[in-house]
Amino acid sequence: MTGPLKHIRILDLSRIMAGPWAGQILADLGAEVIKVERAGVGDDTRRWGPPYLKDADGNDTEESGYYLSVNRGKKSVEIDLASPEGQATIRALAARSDILLENFKVGTLERYGLGAEDLRKDNPNLIYCSITGFGQDGPRAKDVAYDFMIQAMGGLMSITGAPDGEPAGGPQKVGVPIIDIMTGMYSVIAVLAALAERSQSGKGDTVDVAMLDVATAMLANQAMNHLVSGTTPVRRGNKHPNIQPQDVFPVRDGHIVLAVGNDEQFVRFSEAIGQPELAADPRYATNHARVENLDTLHPLICARLGEKNLSAWIEIFGEQKVPCGPINTVPMVFADPQVQHRQMLRDLPHPLSGTVPSVISPMRFERSPLSFDHAPPLLGEHTDEVMRMLGLTGEKSQ
């Protein structure tokens, strides 16, 4: 392995999305990530299809696209946690690991003797990260959660989507499981911070990351808009609540996204659309004024942008350095010259299909370059290898 975490071992007991996303980031960074899966069943997401990866003959395998999106670079071990043998194997793995990730219901692993304090008896340095819907305490601590419901409960859906009364108005979820993804991101930050602290104290720590907490933190500027004004943020479609013009605008042959971020950019934008007088108009000269007078500014912009095609405006705004972009489909993203230049899409070797496409990590390191050599594992692909490492060859963990 290469990467800055090549000296670190992760024991990943998590499943679905948030925990596995954290594990995949750590694997990308070079850590050895041992993914523990239910014997004979595996991670729930293995069955979250179609679509499934196709083998060399074009037939569906049992590897779903969902599972493949979040388990790159790991080793899969089948273990029955309910059995004494399986629990002993987990304890042996934890004794040789730096970080443990888990997203079981609160109290489940403690009943198996696999809680943080249990495992630190053999490994005081272990960093134990629990990822749950609602955290380790509180009135809902033991409740199950999924991304969709937390997008709703955490307020995100109340500010996402078109306003009531407009076409397709109503609350909308984000098009990817954003709470799961951000929970995984926060979990990685937390365990790496605990790792840094351990280098000073010599002791492991317990990390508690809750999806609802993450969703609340993610409200960011919308939360502060409410807290400083007392008003309730509402769905505004694509209109930015604090900065204008930032929206989706119709052009002659489609739509364009404009992200004018300051008054200087608005001057250049006004010149680009042939209406320099807008930037001198006191109703629009400052961002504050543009937000306050958006009802009159927006139709003026729409009328002018409707006069040209998307490609023309992209070229014009590019010359004026006005932030803008097309609304790409997913295939268009991977066809983008910048995305291709950055090699964000790689083909990894896979035992069933020959290769599997993978969207790699966006992180780049000069001295510790990341490598992407290992596809998401088959169920139990590395059980024998890990058992040999533990000196348990011939013993059963299932």
pLDDT digits (tens, 9 = 90+) for 266-304: 999 999 999 999 999 999 999 999 999 999 999 999 999
| pLDDT of 99 higher than 90 | yes
In sequence order, what DSSP letters do the residues of 194-253 get, joined into one string? HHHHHHHH----EEEEEHHHHHHHTTHHHHHHHHHH-PPP---TT--SSSSSEEEEEETT
The pair of structure tokens assigned to 97 is 């690991």
Element (H, E) at 357: strand 354-359
Work out the pLDDT band at 2, boundaries 50, 70, 90: confident
- Whether the predicted pLDDT of 397 surpasses 80: no
Q: What single letter denotes the amino acid at residue 46?
A: R
pLDDT score recorded for residue 42: 97
pLDDT of residue 320: 96
Max CA pair span of the chain: 81
Which one of 277, 295, 329 terminates a domain? Answer: 329
DSSP 376: P
Token pair of 41 as six digits: 């069943």
Answer whether residue 394 shows pLDDT above 70.
no
Is residue 109 within 8 A of residue 94, CB to CB? The reply is no
In Å, how far from its chain's centre is CA 84?
Answer: 35
Are 85 and 155 in a shared domain?
A: yes
Residues 126 and 267 in one domain: no
The 10s digit of each residue's pLDDT in 210-236 is 999 999 999 999 999 999 999 999 999
My answer on whether 186 and 42 are in the same domain is yes
Q: Same domain, yes or no, for 269 and 126?
A: no
**Exposed e or buried b for every residue in 254-287, given b needs 16+ CB within 10 A?**
eebebebeeeebbbbbbebbebeebbebeebbeb
Q: How confident is the model at residue 180 (pLDDT cuts 50, 70, 90)?
A: very high
pLDDT mean over 100-114: 97
Structural domain ending residue among the three candidates 301, 329, 357: 329
Residue at token pair 């509402």 = 234
Catalytic residues: 180
Inside any domain, residue 336: no
Q: Domain of 374: which CATH number?
A: 3.40.50.10540
Contact 79, 86 (CB under 8 A): yes
- Does a structural domain hold residue 126? yes
CB atoms within 10 A of CB 335: 12
User: Confidence band (pLDDT; 50, 70, 90) for 392?
Assistant: confident
How far apart (Å, rounded) are the C-alpha atoms in residues 65 and 63? Answer: 7
Distance CA 395, CA 86 (A): 10
- Residues 338/36, Cβ–Cβ less than 8 Å: no
Q: How far apart are CA 204 and CA 197, in angstroms?
A: 8
- Domain of 277 in residue numbering reads as 246-329
Quote the tokens at residue 322: 């006005």
42-94 pLDDT, tens per residue? 999 999 999 999 999 999 999 999 999 999 999 999 999 999 999 999 999 99
Alpha helices, DSSP H, located in the chain:
18-28, 65-68, 84-95, 108-111, 116-120, 147-153, 178-201, 211-217, 220-229, 263-272, 277-280, 287-292, 294-305, 310-320, 330-335, 337-341, 383-389
Instruction: Write the pLDDT tens digit of every residue in 319-347.
Output: 999 999 999 999 999 999 999 999 999 99
- Helices marked H in 83-177 — which ranges? 84-95, 108-111, 116-120, 147-153
Q: For residue 393, is pLDDT > 80?
A: no
* Residue 165, pLDDT score: 87
CATH number at residue 293: 3.30.1540.10
Residues 162 and 280 in one domain: no
Same domain assignment for residues 309 and 180: no
Rounded to the nearest integer, the mean pLDDT of the chain is: 96
Q: How many domains does the chain have?
A: 2
Same domain, 145 and 24: yes
Tokens of 17: 């999305």
Kindly report the backbone phi and psi dihedral angles of residue 299, in degrees, each rounded to the nearest multiple of 5, phi listed first.
-65, -35
pTM of the model: 0.94
Task: Grade residue 168 by pLDDT with cuts at 50, 70 and 90.
Answer: confident
Task: Read off the pLDDT of residues 191-210 as tens digits, 9 standing for 90 and up.
Answer: 999 999 999 999 999 999 99
Same-domain status, 325 and 368: no
% the chain with pLDDT above 90? 96
Residue 222 lies in a domain: no
Selection from 257, 383, 271 nearest residue 310 by Cα: 257
pLDDT at 179 over 70: yes
- 3-state DSSP call for residue 128? strand
396 has pLDDT over 60: no
How many C-beta atoms surround the C-beta of residue 192 within 10 A? Answer: 18
> Could you tell me if 108 and 254 lie in one domain?
no
